[in-house]
Amino acid sequence: MEKIAVLGAGSWGTALAMVLYDNGHEVKLWTHDKSHAEEMNQTHQNIKYLPNITLPEDMHVYTSLAEVVKDVSAIVFVLPTKAIRDVCRQVKEVLDHKVTIIHGTKGIEPNTFKRVSEIMEEELPPELYNDIVVLSGPSHAEEVSEKQPTTVTASSKTMKDAERAQDLFINERFRVYTSADMVGVELGGSLKNIIALGAGISDGLGYGDNAKAALVTRGLAEIARLGTAKGADPLTFVGLSGVGDLIVTCTSVHSRNWKAGNLLAKGNKLEDVLAEMDMVVEGIRTTQAAYALAKEERIEMPITTGLYQILFEHANPKDIVDQLMTRMRKHEMEDLSLILSNRYTQ
């Protein structure tokens, strides 16, 4: 049994805290919101983010980072990408010993194009952690918290730490695989949110299963194109953190990215959609990041480009579908040597 801090009391942080608790660990949950912590400590429920479950009475919710990281052997960051840099800086001020860092965040930072583990490496001094592990895969919090069968992948630069995260989280309802391809696992988990926004738009426009299957498959092609250019193993994208997460996020009623896309297709403005969701929709900022990164790397990402035009240039979603369907004719399978040479353009 270990003492573990989980930073972030949103839906995924709470669900992962429950997995660790069920595995016999002492779990300390942290939120920056005092009233949310008080409510959770009094009611033993996370009414705002995960109302379907009751939390154990001995799982305390903290608002002091110094208290929550005291004596822990691992810290699990489960925050929106935009909060990672700032919370790492705060952790650096109060952490006085070496821990295992694990994160469950899916996003890329706009402007820097950094993956979450890269942001962490920038902000946390190496003497404070053994390694950074990403946990990613098809895993909606609502189902994990109800102990429905779920599979994810743990990946780090050194397999030893991925295996340590596997040990901490694995149980008969939450199966954890390991992968040595951290770039692929982080990029797959982040970029699939763009395609999930697209799937929500497609459904919102009244298009059917054919269109959704096309989005998932061609979405996977462009995710792999950018991912391999950034050093990922192309095979990772046919795994849990690639096609697995694409399937779940593009088809599940639980997906915030799908919901946001669906509301956009029905004519709602982006700011109204985000206000209505009241939960993080990572795909929006990731679209911004991936669009700019693809331009810089000269990688063709037509779906991401279309999404960018809908989100940030007020393009009509129906026109974007026409744009995608009438692109220049091409072969389905791309020349892998061109992908690997990092310079695929039409």
Ligand X SMILES: NC(=O)C1=CN([C@@H]2O[C@H](COP(=O)(O)OP(=O)(O)OC[C@H]3O[C@@H](n4cnc5c(N)ncnc54)[C@H](OP(=O)(O)O)[C@@H]3O)[C@@H](O)[C@H]2O)C=CC1
Q: Is 267 annotated as a binding residue?
A: no
Rounded to whole angstroms, the Cα distance separating 278 from 224 reads 31
26-30 and 3-7 as β-strands: parallel, antiparallel, unpaired? parallel
Rounded to whole angstroms, the Cα distance separating 158 from 179 reads 10
Q: Based on the residue annotation, tell me whether 147 is a catalytic residue of this protein.
A: no
User: Which one of 255, 262, 304, 309 is in contact with ligand 13P (CB under 6 A)?
Assistant: 255
Question: Cα dist. 34→30, 55, 59, 61, 93 in Å?
Answer: 10, 18, 16, 10, 20
Q: Is 11 annotated as a binding residue?
A: yes
Q: Does 79 bind ligand X (CB under 6 A)?
A: yes
For ligand 13P, the closer of residues 48 and 70 by Cβ is 48
C-alpha angle 309-311-317 in degrees, rounded to nearest 5: 65
User: Which one of 109, 186, 222, 282 is in contact with ligand X (CB under 6 A)?
Assistant: 282
Question: Cα dist. 165→47, 65, 115, 178 in Å?
Answer: 28, 22, 19, 9
Shortest Å, Cβ 335 to ligand X? 33
Burial of 55 (0-12, 13-18, 19+ CB in 10 A): buried
Q: Does 176 bind ligand 13P (CB under 6 A)?
A: no
Q: Which of 192, 212, 266, 269 is catalytic?
A: 192
What six digits make up the tokens of 186? 């982080």
User: Which one of 29, 84, 248, 301 is in contact with ligand 13P (CB under 6 A)?
Assistant: 248
- Sheet containing 174-179: give its strands across: 61-62, 26-30, 3-7, 74-77, 99-103, 129-136, 150-156, 174-179
Interface mask (CB under 6 A) for ligand X, residues 39-78, using x and -? ----------x----------------------------x
Near ligand 13P by CB under 6 A, which window of 243-251, 287-295, 297-305, 333-341?
243-251
Q: Does 261 bind ligand X (CB under 6 A)?
A: no
Q: Does 87 bind ligand X (CB under 6 A)?
A: yes
Near ligand X by CB under 6 A, which window of 30-38, 299-307, 310-318, 336-344?
30-38
Rounded to whole angstroms, the Cα distance separating 175 from 151 reads 5
Q: Is 9 annotated as a binding residue?
A: yes
What six digits make up the tokens of 130? 């053994």
Q: Does 140 bind ligand X (CB under 6 A)?
A: yes
Q: Is 49 annotated as a binding residue?
A: yes
**Is 129 in a helix, a strand, or coil?**
strand
Q: Does 134 bind ligand 13P (CB under 6 A)?
A: no
Q: Which residue is nearest to ligand X (CB)?
A: 10
- Residue 84 CA, chain-centre distance (Å), reads 12
What six digits make up the tokens of 145? 């918290």
For ligand 13P, the closer of residues 166 and 255 by Cβ is 255
Rounded to whole angstroms, the Cα distance separating 81 from 209 reads 31
Q: Does 106 bind ligand 13P (CB under 6 A)?
A: yes
C-alpha angle 205-254-54 in degrees, rounded to nearest 5: 160
Q: Is 257 annotated as a binding residue?
A: yes
Catalog residues that contact ligand X under the rule CB under 6 A. Answer: 8-13, 31-33, 36, 49, 78-81, 83, 86-87, 104-107, 139-141, 279-280, 282
Interface ranges with ligand 13P (CB under 6 A) = 106, 138-140, 193, 196, 245, 248-249, 254-257, 282
| Positions marked active-site | 192
Q: List residues forming the annotated binding site.
A: 8-13, 32, 49, 106, 137, 139, 141, 192, 245, 255-257, 280, 282
Residues of the binding site for substrate: 106, 256-257
